[in-house]
A and B are shown apart, each in its own frame.
Chain A
Amino acid sequence: MIGITGLTKSYNSREVLKDVDLRILPGEVVAIIGPSGAGKSTLLRCINMLEVPDSGRIHVDGRQVFYTPNARGKLGVVDQFRLTWLRREIAMVFQQFNLWPHRTVLDNLLEGPVIAKRQKRADAVPRALEKLRSVGLEDKADAYPADLSGGQQQRVAICRALMMDPKAILFDEPTSALDPELVNEVLDIMAKLAKTGMTMVIVTHEMKFAREVADRVIFMEHGGIVAEGPPDEVFQHPRLRVYASHLSH
């Protein structure tokens, strides 16, 4: 589904990703955990090229979307056409929700399919309402994002991602900006989504969620993958136990 080889990325002279390899299988739910500054979000954002890596290779669904710059130092992203293709296949849910504040909830869901993918609005509207119903927000279709709570906004953002009929969804710390009492309503939706067989890559600090919902956990530190595997195995890793003990204080 997603294949990453030898990915590196530096900001100025600070190495954020050091030669990272990662493979994500169809239908897999992968949680990426680790301390702040480990490169988790950068790795996630490289998958749909919101961040352009310095070198490495990225394949999505058999197509190459990034390769190491050539000898003349030309940028590795293949072209704008393939870039928009990639982003229509891989949806994203952001920490700060990033709903468009000047559009209603319904219009936020329709932008992707109707504007970017040029589908008929009349076909997309019933689908959008159905998605809203599935997250319990069917009565908010005509509200503006500013009228919603953070948890509601993030549920709308998940619907917006689903409207793209994506092959995978990337979650970039989806509950980190939420008040504690709103975290669960978003995690519940994500757990439900995981059961439907959606491919999900989730950067998170929610250890319990990662342990219970993920098929595989990836523990990152200092720009590299320290441990990966089934949750029960990875959570026994000594480095992760140190990290987790910091979290529980």
Chain B
Amino acid sequence: MDTYEPGSVAAEYFPIFLAGAMTTLGIVAAAIVCATVLGYIIATLRLSRIRALRIFAAAYVWFFRGLPLMLSLFFFYYTKPFGLTMDAFTAGLIAMSLNSASFFSEIIRAGLKSVNSGHLEAADSVGMNPVQKFVRVTAPEGIRLMTPPYINNCIIMLKESAQISVITVPDLMLQGQKAYNSTYNVMETLGVVAAMYLVMTSLLMVVQIIIEKKMGRKMGTTKQLREAVGSMA
């Protein structure tokens, strides 16, 4: 068995970890986009006037929110659903998107419902059509309300994406496992992997702080809130 000098695993495997981190970022970014779009659709169905659509959306949320991500990953990767054979990345992306859409839809639904109804009536009262009302009032106010839980969920997605390593997607977690399997230096490997995950989650938190600060200042928020947001940075 080779013995490794301290720091040598990190140095030798760093490019591979970096490639793994890129795969993680790529699949999470793609899943966030897909899950947001799907989640938005589910949220609007949930708020629809048509009962059947509401029931469908509620059933979707019940189903995917109630199942472990791992189970969905195995389903899409191993069972060849509907006769489709897909590579690990695609299976992982689909499973993550469907799973996270159920959470996003609840966040978006809550955000849309919390938009001040008086502000919407004001938009009606100046004769905005429904599209203008959405773009000018609902979206900007809703996004401000949704940002903290939304980013929170993105961070959860990023961490949970480690599970895709079990269906052989070469993400940061899998590269880490490969590295300590061949070097037996678990401590150092996990240390580097952990640092990389923290960098990625920190980036998301920075995004949240920027959005909240920007919107908070524009809204003329109270001094306390500004300080609270400031102290997080």
Interface check A145, CB cutoff 8 A: yes
Interface residues on B, range: 20 to 34
Q: Which residues of A lie under 8 Å from residue B136 when comparing CB positions? A: 100, 111, 115
Which chain B residue has the least Cβ–Cβ distance from A104?
B218
Q: Which residues of A lie under 8 Å from residue B132 when comparing CB positions? A: 115-116
The answer for the CA separation of A85 and B124 in the assembled complex, in Å, is 11
Interface check A151, CB cutoff 8 A: no
Interface check A160, CB cutoff 8 A: yes
In the complex, are the beta carbons of A94 and B126 less than 8 A apart? no
Give the A interface residue count (CB, 8 A): 30
Partner of B126, one of A80, A88, A143, A147: A88
In the complex, are the beta carbons of B215 and A116 less than 8 A apart? no
In the complex, are the beta carbons of A50 and B125 less than 8 A apart? yes
Binary flags per residue of A140-178, CB closer than 8 Å to B gives 1, else 0:
000111110000000000001100100000000000000
Shortest beta-carbon distance from B45 to chain A in Å: 22
In this complex, which of B118, B125, B219, B220 has the most chain A Cβ atoms within 10 angstroms of its Cβ?
B125
In the complex, are the beta carbons of A147 and B124 less than 8 A apart? no
A 23-49 contacts with B by CB, 8 A = 48
Q: Which residues of A lie under 8 Å from residue B130 when comparing CB positions? A: 80
Interface check A102, CB cutoff 8 A: yes
In this complex, which of A94, A101, A117 has the most chain B Cβ atoms within 10 angstroms of its Cβ?
A101
A 90-116 contacts with B by CB, 8 A = 91-92, 94, 96, 98-102, 111-112, 115-116
The answer for the CA separation of A101 and B123 in the assembled complex, in Å, is 12
Q: Which residues of A lie under 8 Å from residue B118 when comparing CB positions? A: 94, 96, 98
CB within 8 Å of A: which residues of B?
116, 118-119, 121-130, 132, 136-137, 140-141, 144, 215, 218-221
| A-B contacts, 25 listed (Cβ < 8 Å) | A48-B125, A80-B129, A86-B127, A87-B124, A87-B127, A88-B126, A91-B125, A92-B122, A98-B119, A98-B121, A100-B119, A100-B141, A102-B140, A102-B141, A111-B123, A111-B126, A115-B128, A115-B136, A116-B128, A116-B129, A143-B220, A144-B218, A144-B220, A146-B221, A164-B126
CB within 8 Å of B: which residues of A?
48, 50, 80, 84-88, 91-92, 94, 96, 98-102, 111-112, 115-117, 143-147, 160-161, 164
Closest 4 CB pairs of A and B: A146-B220, A112-B126, A88-B127, A144-B220
